[in-house]
C-alpha cells in the first residue's frame, strides 16, 4: 500500500480540512537528527512544532534536551505545564511577561532570556523594577553568526545581533556580569545562512554553486570566530551552554568544539523547503488534507482552502506543495487561494468530488497555526489526536 492509500484509509472517518503527522516518519527523522548530532544534545525549536504534547513526545526520545521557545509568554506557559529548560531565542519587550518571570521562582529557574545589548537589560529592569522581590534572570548572549564579504557589501544570514567580534561579546558579557539581578549562562550563534538555506536547488545550478561557495566560506570563518567569542565570554561568566545551528547544519555545528548543544525543529516534520539539502534527507511527516469540492473543467479540480503561505521572502517556494497524488500543480493566475485552490495536472483527471489532496507546508510549525489538532498516524490508523498551540487557545505569533 502506498502512502496516499495509507493516509486516506487511516483518516477515512475524518472530514478535511485536517492535519496529520506520520509517527513512523517522525521517529525516523528524529533518530537521523540525533545521529547527525553525534552525541551532543539537540534543543528542540518549538516554533517548528507548535504542539505541546508533541514537544513532550520528542523530548522523551533519545538525543533531545531542552526547548528553544520563540516568545516569553510561550515559555511561561510551557513551564507552567511542567516543561523544563526553556531558552527564549528572540529578545522580548513584553513587560507583563517579564514581571511574571521575575516573580515566579520556577519560571526564573527554568527560562533563559536572549539579549544582544544593554537595552534589553534596561527593558527588563524597567518592567520589573517595582517588584518587592525579583528572582535573578538567566541570560543568553546572542552573537551574529552571519557571513560578511567584500568589506561588508555582501551579507548572508539573519539580521539578528549587533554583537559579532570576540571583544564586543566580552564587553557585553562584562556589562551583564556586573549588573545585579542577571546571570549570564549561555551563548547562542545561529548560522541561518547555512542551517536554513538548501544547498541543492533543483533547476538552478548557478544558485546552487553560489550557495555552496558562500556556505563553505562561512563555515570556515565561523568555526574560528565562534570559538574565540566563547573563549572571550568564558573569561567573565560560567557558561552552562553554547548553542548553534539548525536542522540544516546539525552535523557541522555539533562538530565544533566550542558548541555544547545544537538547536533544531524543522527536521522532525521535514517540510518542503528541507528537501533541498545535500547533506541529509528526511521523510515528509506533517501533511494536511483538503477536500476536492468541484471540477471546473477537464484536468482541473478545485480544493477548499489552501492559501497557507509560509513566512520569509515571498516566492513560489513559500507555497504549500500539492504532494499526493503526485502530478498536481497550481493554476498560475490563482496560486494557493484564500478559500479555494484550483489544481491542474495529469492527476486531476482521476480525482472526484469528495476525494482528498494531501499537501506539505513549505515550513514546519506554521502549519499548526491553521489547525487545532494533529491526527497522529501509525501504519493505517489514527492512534491519537493531539492539540496544536492554536487548539489550546494559544497563538503567540
Ligand X SMILES: Cc1ncc(COP(=O)(O)O)c(C=O)c1O
Point out which residues bind ligand X (CB under 6 A): 45, 48, 68, 89, 190, 195-196, 246-247, 263-267, 364
268 vs 288 by CB, closer to ligand X:
268
Residue found by looking up cell 574560528 in the block: 224
User: Which one, 134 or 270, has the nearer CB to ligand X?
Assistant: 270
Cα separation, 210 vs 237, in Å, equals 39
Q: Is the peptide bond before 248 cis (omega within 30 degrees of 0)?
A: no
- Cβ proximity of 108 and 80 under 8 Å: no
Using the minimum distance from each CB to ligand X, give the nearer residue, 50 or 356. 50
Nearest distance in Å: CB 369, ligand X: 15
Residue ranges of the alpha helices (H) in 81-198? Answer: 95-103, 105-110, 118-128, 166-178, 192-195
Q: Report the distance separating Cα 97 and Cα 105, nearest Å.
A: 14
| Min CB(284)–ligand X separation in Å | 15
Q: What are phi and psi of 24, to 5 degrees?
A: -65, -40
C-alpha dist (Å) from residue 300 to 294, 297, 337: 9, 5, 15
Contact assessment for residue 321 and residue 272, using Cβ atoms and an 8 Å cutoff? yes
CA distances from 75 to 28, 106, 133, 159, 333 (A): 27, 12, 21, 23, 41
Query: Minimum Å distance from CB 267 to ligand X?
Result: 6
We find the least distance from the C-beta atom of residue 351 to ligand X, in angstroms, to be 32
Nearer to ligand X, 10 or 87 (CB): 87
Nearest to ligand X of 49, 301 (CB atom): 49
Q: How far is the CB of 364 from ligand X (least distance, A)?
A: 6
By C-beta, is 17 or 74 nearer to ligand X? 74
Residue number, 120 or 134, with CB nearest to ligand X: 120
Whether the CB-CB separation of 331 and 316 falls below 8 Å is answered with no
- Rounded to whole angstroms, what are the CA distances from 233 to 118, 164, 227, 269? 15, 12, 10, 35
Minimal distance, residue 338 CB to ligand X, in Å: 26
* CB closer to ligand X out of 198 and 267: 267
CA distance 134 to 97: 13
Residue 125 C-beta: closest distance to ligand X, Å = 24
- The closest residue (CB) to ligand X is 246
Amino acid at each position: 500500500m502506498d502512502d496516499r492509500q495509507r493516509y486516506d484509509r487511516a483518516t477515512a472517518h475524518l472530514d478535511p480540512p485536517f492535519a496529520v503527522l506520520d509517527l513512523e516518519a517522525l521517529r525516523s527523522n528524529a533518530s537521523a537528527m540525533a545521529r547527525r548530532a553525534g552525541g551532543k544534545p539537540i534543543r528542540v525549536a518549538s516554533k517548528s512544532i507548535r504542539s505541546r504534547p508533541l514537544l513532550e513526545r520528542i523530548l522523551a526520545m533519545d538525543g533531545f534536551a531542552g526547548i528553544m521557545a520563540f516568545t516569553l509568554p510561550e515559555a511561561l506557559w510551557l513551564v507552567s505545564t511542567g516543561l523544563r529548560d526553556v531558552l527564549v531565542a528572540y529578545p522580548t519587550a513584553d513587560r507583563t511577561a517579564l514581571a511574571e518571570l521575575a516573580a515566579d521562582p520556577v519560571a526564573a529557574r527554568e527560562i533563559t532570556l536572549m539579549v544582544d545589548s544593554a537595552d534589553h537589560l534596561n527593558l527588563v529592569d524597567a518592567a520589573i523594577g517595582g517588584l518587592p522581590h525579583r528572582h535573578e534572570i538567566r541570560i543568553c548572549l546572542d552573537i551574529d553568526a552571519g557571513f560578511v564579504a567584500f568589506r561588508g557589501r555582501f551579507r548572508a544570514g539573519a539580521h539578528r545581533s549587533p554583537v559579532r567580534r570576540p571583544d564586543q561579546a566580552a564587553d557585553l558579557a562584562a556589562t551583564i556580569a556586573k549588573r545585579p539581578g542577571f546571570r549570564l549562562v549561555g551563548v547562542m550563534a545561529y548560522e541561518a545562512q547555512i542551517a536554513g538555506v538548501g544547498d541543492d536547488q533543483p533547476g538552478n545550478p548557478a544558485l546552487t554553486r553560489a550557495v555552496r561557495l558562500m556556505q563553505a566560506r562561512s563555515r570556515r570563518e565561523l568555526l574560528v570566530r565562534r570559538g574565540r567569542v566563547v573563549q572571550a565570554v568564558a573569561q567573565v561568566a560560567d557558561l552552562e551552554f553554547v548553542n548553534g545551528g539548525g536542522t540544516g547544519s546539525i552535523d557541522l555545528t555539533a562538530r565544533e568544539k566550542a558548541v555544547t548543544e545544537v538547536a533544531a525543529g524543522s527536521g522532525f516534520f521535514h517540510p518542503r523547503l528541507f528537501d533541498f539539502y545535500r547533506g541529509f534527507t528526511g521523510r515528509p511527516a506533517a501533511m494536511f488534507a483538503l477536500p476536492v469540492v468541484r471540477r471546473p473543467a477537464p484536468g482541473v479540480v478545485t480544493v477548499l482552502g489552501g492559501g497557507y503561505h509560509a513566512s520569509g521572502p515571498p516566492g513560489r517556494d513559500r507555497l504549500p506543495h500539492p504532494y499526493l497524488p503526485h502530478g498536481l500543480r497550481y493554476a498560475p493566475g490563482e496560486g494557493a487561494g484564500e478559500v479555494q485552490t484550483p489544481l491542474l495536472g495529469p492527476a486531476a483527471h482521476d480525482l472526484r468530488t469528495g476525494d482528498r489532496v494531501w499537501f506539505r507546508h513549505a515550513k514546519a510549525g506554521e502549519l499548526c497555526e491553521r489547525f487545532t489538532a494533529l491526527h497522529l498516524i501509525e501504519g493505517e490508523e489514527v492512534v491519537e489526536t493531539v492539540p496544536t498551540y492554536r487548539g489550546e487557545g494559544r497563538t503567540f505569533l
